[in-house]
Amino acid sequence: MTAAFHLPLLFAGVITTPAPAPRINLPRVAVAACAAVTREDVQEALGRAVGNGEEQTGGGESTCDYASGRGQVTVTVQRLKAKLDLAREMASLKASIPDATVRETDGVGAPAFSLDIAGAGTQLFVIRGDGALVMISVLGFGEAPQVSAAALRMARRALGRL
């Protein structure tokens, strides 16, 4: 035998398993946005076809966009690090889009509010007690009264999968 064949035997007794990397506790999204609200869910809620979801994930947040013509549905799932002040969040959104209407929204089993944007659609924000935030934005498919029920259906689906 040559020396090259003996090297693995020499090191066999001294090779150790490396220590595991330290855990970094970042907020995690248990279910990604495109899985929380699927393309089929969006199409069923809107009653029209949309493209495949395009997902972006990072920093404890996952966002999925579904587009059709000039309309877009955006689903965001996020784990909050701190409890939100719902009234302050509503006021902040209202201030950022003065022509919009902010209203509390029932029907999802958690605190929720909608930002209705004239000429565009609605954005529904749901904050579950365990820190999960779900935002469903339905823009370009009609005015808020026409698309709010679809946003509610999608939010219910997302909450059921988280």
Does this model's pTM top 0.75? My answer is: yes
State the sign of the Cα–Cα–Cα–Cα dihedral 84, 90, 92, 93: positive
Closest CA relative to residue 131, chosen from 75, 61, 73, 74: 61
CB contact at 8 A, 120 and 101:
no
Task: Give me the tens of pLDDT residue by residue for the chain, a chain 162 residues long.
Answer: 443 333 232 223 333 333 443 333 334 446 899 999 999 999 999 999 999 999 999 988 999 999 999 999 999 999 988 888 888 988 998 899 989 999 999 999 999 999 999 999 999 999 998 889 999 999 999 999 999 999 999 999 999 999
For the chain, what are the domain ranges? 62-162
For the domain 62-162, what is the CATH superfamily, name and number? Mog1/PsbP, alpha/beta/alpha sandwich (3.40.1000.10)
Spatial separation of the C-alpha atoms in residues 10 and 117, rounded to whole Å: 72
HEC-encoded secondary structure of 60-85: CEEEEEEEECCEEEEEEEEECCCCCC
